[in-house]
Structures are given as structure tokens and as C-alpha cells.
Amino acid sequence: MPHASQTSPVHGAAFSGRAPADIRTLVLCGGGGSGKTTLSERLLLDTGKLKRMGSVLEGTTVSDYTEEEKKHAHSLQPAFLHFEYEGHLVNLIDTPGLSDFLGHAIACFPAAETIAVVVDAVKGIDSVTRRLMSVAQQRSIPRMLIVNKIDEASPTDLEGLVANLRETFGNICLPINLPRAGGTRVVNVFEHDGTDAAGDRADFSSVHEAHKQIVEQVIEVDDELTLQYLEVGDGKFDPAKLHAAFEKALGEAHLIPICFCSAKSGAGIDDLLHIFASLCPSPLEVNPPEFLKRDAEGEPEHEWNALPEPGGKLIAHVFKVYTDPFLGRVGIFRVHQGVLRAKSEVIIDDHKKGTRLGHIFLLQGKEHVEVQEVGPGMIGAVAKVDDVKFNCLIHDSHELDSVRLSPLPIPRPMFGLAVELKNHADEAKFSNASHRFMAEDPCFTMERSAATAQTVMRGLGEMHLRIMVEKFRALGIELMTSTPKVAYKETITAKADGHHRHKKQTGGAGQFGEVYLRVEPLPTDHPEGFEFVNETVGGSIPRQFIPAIEKGVRSVLMEGAVAGYPLLGVRVSVYDGKYHDVDSKEIAFTTAGRRAFIDAIQKARAVLVEPYVHLEVTAPSRYMGDITGHMSTKRGRVQSSELESGDTCVVRAVAPLGELQNYANELKSMTGGAGNFTMDFSHDEKTPPQVQTAVIAAYKPRHED
């Protein structure tokens, strides 16, 4: 876990803020209803930040402060909290748990040293939990599991849940504490071995056995401790060495501690706070964030590590943007290196011109606390800077212009809703609001489809889009909504040649251009989906006309050649043609290129493809047959169906997106509201022949160029 060496001169004025070694930053995430916001309230209460716990249902929590969150009784965006415990500053990011807002949770991952995934002790593992654990593993961020609501589950259920967690996420998942006295207390099994005053009793397993398991798991990453264990057994290890081994085990994904608590009753909260402060890693102890850097134009990118030191050049990553009614656009950032100071001049991404910052803040829910500087490991906010955008980097040296965070696996917005303004006088307001919401939400898009003549908003689910419609309405913009037409695409399955001679005489100078070209399919994983190659020889077409031919070809890509849908997966090679010394012009070759391309596509066995999605459904096991049977009516293919402990089943399938526009309501009806699912883009697949024939037959191409 140590950071790679990097020479960094002392930069800027002396820093008087919090030392990185004293900071702990955690993302609190997990499935909807697992109790994250209530747990946040309890943590704030027990650390003296609150005098009384708020209620999610009453809309009085620190985290859920927007009107939409109070109305729906769900977190819809991350909330930023902080408190002190055992001499350490703990930054806590309380994230939404509904699958429709999963992107907001994942976007916060680069800001934290620990991903704390909350699991409902009664409901167990859901699809959101699996997705979050997978992303954290991919990003090499230490993980911990917090089993909440232990006062509502029996010891047998809790023991079964531990077995299920280990089966799902690996045997590296081990309890760091155990419930006792019927879930009213917990005992820390990492620090107690069952032979001391804490005793050996627990609601399941034993303190001694759990202590042995987690200590053996931790010392496996340290040769010296392993040798000591083999020689003298489970003796007293040096606390500092054992702590270092624990941090290393977390960083190397050799351990995922399981913590038990009840946010409602307060059971286990003191021990959870102790684990946060004493065992969760600081910015100095964790795997460095995944930055990429290019040393010179044209060179490949390489890994680059920020050093969490105040003396280095500034690197801060903006991972959340929102609009405040009083402050305007607010960018929330994590400082990874150096110090960000109020009213200083900084550089945003690779902008040539510097930007002067105004005030900077620390956040506690909706409260903004103004500060003069924010150092490494800290989370802050900057207001009224229009150039600040989601995922941008703030720095103070042009040497760092090429640095960027490695791409995050943000879920692709797949659910669509066609929208139309009730009052067309609101077009300017609608455009401004759309751009604002897209800047604030990485999983929300608004697009105009030329193929379907619809304006379509896209998000991660039905509730996500319903919330967005409500946000537009709050700004005085009323929208009419409908189910969007299927977003087909066109592609080809064979090679073919195309030709067109464009000749036009109008009395004066004419137009002439002749093009021969060839099309062939590209691999499905091609990053661009299109290639244009000039293979002409001997000057059959002068070089200055080649861009005009490409322009004509590209004009077909967006409107298609056989059904009016965007065309992708095509390589175009121009290999011959003719020109006229006087009459050949760019417009002539643009037209010739366009028509030759259409001619080739119509011979290349063009097909329609539609988006397919991965679907993971979690529900009570008695509904497994209903879910799998219903999936077949959606042209879906079930890939696996598994029974898990706690009377739960998991069904994984792929299905065409166009068949799933109302799946949230259908699943709710099937399972009585007990089912949930996650969905992400899988691939594009050919449409059934009968669908393709009907769509192509309905297409009316435009004949004028």
C-alpha cells in the first residue's frame, strides 16, 4: 500500500490544517432501506454532532434535506458529514441505495479510503450490494461490511447471513465483532480473544474462534508475524505491527471485516466508531487513487500517483456537482495532494487560462462551513466557478495538465422517457435546465433522436426519471411524457462495393464527381464504430476532395441507409473515382460519396440491432418461477438462477431494453414489492426478422441531398 515515490517540491504557504494521518474517509453505501441514513444520524448523535436523531420518514435527517428526498423518504444524492472520534476526523459520505441512483454512490468512490457497505440483517444481500462490492474490488479500495438491524434478526439468521456473505464475496469476509445479549451489544473479536474480561460468549460462534480466524487471516500478509505465530502460537503480537498488518490486509483485499450494529437501538455503534477511527486506513496507508498521466503529446498514458502531502503541487478531484439556490454551481472535491486555498488561482483540467476561486467550504449535510484551506485527505466544496464539472481535476501547475482519473464504471443510462413541452415558450428554460441536470447527474442524459423525432431523457430507472420530471416541474417546466420508440441501430454483415457518378449541368460551371468505395463490417468492440480509409492511387481523385467524400459518408451515419437509424460498425475504403478539372467541386464529391455509401450499404446485408442489458433480479425464492417465466415473454434469456440463504433467489438474464421499459412496475406487481433489480448495458444484438422487416418497410428515405 505505500505510495510510489515521486519528487515533489515544497509548494505554497505553510499548511495549518488537519494532518492526513488523522483523517478517515468512508463511503457509506448499500441497498435501499438498509439503514444508511439512520446509521449516519446515530453516528452524529453519538459523537456529539446532534442532540436528537432525525427520522427518514419525518424528513428530519441531516443527510436527506432536499424536498424530493423528504417527499420520497429516500436518499437521492450523496450527503457529506464529518465528526471527531478518538482524536481522528472521520469524513462520511452517505449515498443513495436505490439502484436508480447507483451512479451517485460509485462517483464518490475515488474520494474515500474505505467503502463501507451496509447490509440489512433481515433482507440480506441484494443486487445493489453485489454491484458496489464488485466496483470497490475493481478499484482496489478497501471494503468492510456493516450488518445493520441486528436487533431485528435472530442469531440463526445472522449466522446464516455471515455464511452467505462469505459464499458471495469470499472467505476473506470475517466478523471483526459479534453480537451478544440478543443483539443488544457487540464484542470486538479482533481485540479480545475470549480469555479476557470480555468473555467468550456471543449470540453465535464464539469470541475465541472468531478471534483466531481474523488474526490468522491478518497475519498472513506479514512474514514476521506469521513466523511468530508458528513458533509461539496465538500469543500477544506487537499492537503496532498487528495494526499495520490489518491495514495491509485491507489494502490487498485479503480481508473484508464484517461489523454488526443496530442504528436504531445504538447496539455496536461505539465499536463501529472505534473501528472507523483506529482500524480504517488514512490517506497515507491506503492504495493510491488511480490517476493516469501523459508526459508528452502522442505518448501513451501511464499510472501516476498523487502523494497525500501538503507540500506537493495541488491535485483535487471534483466528484459531485450541484446547484445551490444561493451559491450557484457548487463543486465538491477531494484533495489528493497539496492544499487548495480560498481565493487562489488554479487550473481546471488542461485549460490554458487560470481560474480564480472564491470561498471554499466544508459540508455537514446542507450546512456550509467556510474555511480558508483544504488539505490532502479532506473533502471540500467550491462555489460560483462555472468551469467546474463532474470528474474534472483542479490543480495549480501546467505540468499536471494531462493528469486524469482513470475512468469510473458509472452505470450507463438505459431507461428512456420521451418528453415534450406543454408550453413551447419554455424551450429556453428547458434547455438550460437540461444542461444543468446533466452536469449534476452523471447518469442522466437528454438527447434528440433524429430517427424517431423524439426528445428522450435517459436515466437508470423509472423512479430516476420520475424524480427528474419533478425537478423540471419545480422550475415551472411542465412535460408531457410517453414511452420512447426503440433506439435501433443499423450495421452491416458483409462486404460490398458502392459507386455513384454525380454530374450536374446548370448552364454555367457544372458539378462532377465519381466515387468507388467498399464497405466491410468492423469488430463489435471497435472503439469508434467507424473507419474511413483512402486507398486511391495514381491521383484518380485529388487529395483535396477526400475530406468531402468522408463528409458525405458521415452524413449517412446519423440517419442510416435502410431504416433511418444511426449506422455503426462499418469500415469504408475509397479505392477509385474520377474528377473533372473544371466541374469537380467539394459539393460534388460530398454527394457522390454519400450516394455511393448508401449504394454499398444496401448490398452489404444491412441489419437492425437493438440494445440488450444485463439484468440481476433479487427476490424471495417463492417468486423464482414467476420471474424466469416472465423473462421469456420479454425475449430475455435467463443465464442463471440461484437460491441463497434467507429464502432469497437471484436471477441473472439478458434481455432487449425495449421490452423492459415498465419492468420496475411489473416486478413490483409480481413480488408484492419485495423484488429489486439492477440493469446495465450488455451489447447490441440483431432484432428478430419479423421486427426488422416491419421497421424497414415503414422507413421513408429522403431522396433529396
* b/e map 545-568, b = 16+ CB within 10 Å: bbebbbbbbbebbebbbbbbbbbb
Amino acid at site 166: R
Does 135 share its domain with 150? yes
Contact 280, 191 (CB under 8 A): no
- Quote the CA–CA distance of 637 and 620 in Å, as a whole number: 20
Q: What is the pLDDT of residues 185-240, one digit of tens each?
A: 999 999 988 887 778 889 999 999 999 999 999 999 999 999 888 887 766 788 88
Rounded mean pLDDT of 546-560?
91
Please say which residue of 441, 466, 485 terminates a domain: 485
The percentage of the chain sitting over the pLDDT mark of 70, rounded to a whole number, equals 96
Q: Tell me, what's the pLDDT at 134?
A: 92
With respect to residue 546, please indicate whether it lies within any of the assigned structural domains.
yes
The domain that holds 423 is classified in CATH as: 3.30.70.870
Burial 253-268 (b: 16+ CB within 10 A, else e): bbbbbbbbbbbbbbbb
Within this chain, do residues 89 and 154 fall inside the same structural domain, yes or no? Answer: yes
Do residue 467 and residue 537 come from a single domain? no
Q: Count the domains in the chain.
A: 5
Burial (Cβ within 10 Å: 0-12, 13-18, ≥19) of residue 616: buried
CA distance 689 to 349: 48
Residue 701 domain-assigned (yes or no)? no
More confident position, 11 or 446: 446
Angle at alpha carbon of residue 394, lines to 388 and 396, rounded to 5°: 135
pLDDT at 367 over 60: yes
- Shared domain check, 671 and 643: yes
Give 340 or 485, the one with higher predicted confidence. Answer: 340
Tens digits of residue pLDDT in 249-290: 999 999 999 999 999 999 999 999 999 999 999 999 888 888
C-alpha cell at position 169: 464475496
592, 620: one domain = no
CA distances from 297 to 302, 393, 402 (A): 13, 19, 9
Q: Is residue 180 part of a domain?
A: yes
pLDDT at 26: 97
Q: Which domain holds residue 382?
A: 303-405
- Is 69 part of a structural domain of the chain? yes
**Residue whose entry in the numeric block shows the C-alpha cell 439468521:** 157
CATH number of the domain residue 679 falls in: 3.30.70.240
What pLDDT score does 9 carry? Answer: 35
Q: Are residues 190 and 47 part of one domain? A: yes
Is 15 a domain residue?
no
Task: Give CA–CA dist 588/142, Å, rounded.
Answer: 61
Q: Are residues 569 and 478 in the same domain?
A: no
Q: Are residues 269 and 383 in the same domain?
A: no
Looking at the fold, whether 328 and 312 belong to one and the same domain comes out as yes
pLDDT at 246: 94
Lowest mean pLDDT segment, chosen from 36-45, 550-559, 585-594, 644-653: 644-653
pLDDT of residue 701: 65
On whether both 40 and 162 belong to a single domain, the answer is: yes
Same domain for 323 and 377, yes or no, is yes
450-496 residue pLDDT tens:
767 889 999 988 899 999 999 999 999 999 999 888 888 899 999 99
Task: Note whether residue 289 is domain-resident.
Answer: no
State yes or no: pLDDT of 2 exceeds 60: no
Domain boundary among 405, 433, 448: 405
Closest residue by Cα to residue 430 from 413, 416, 442, 448: 448
pLDDT-derived band at 6, boundaries 50, 70, 90: very low
Residues 110 and 126 in one domain: yes
- Answer with the residue of higher pLDDT: 668 or 137: 137
Looking at 32-36, 88-92, 429-433, 700-704, which range is the least confident one? 700-704
Q: Each residue of 12-27: pLDDT tens digit?
A: 445 557 899 999 999 9
Average pLDDT over residues 312-340: 92
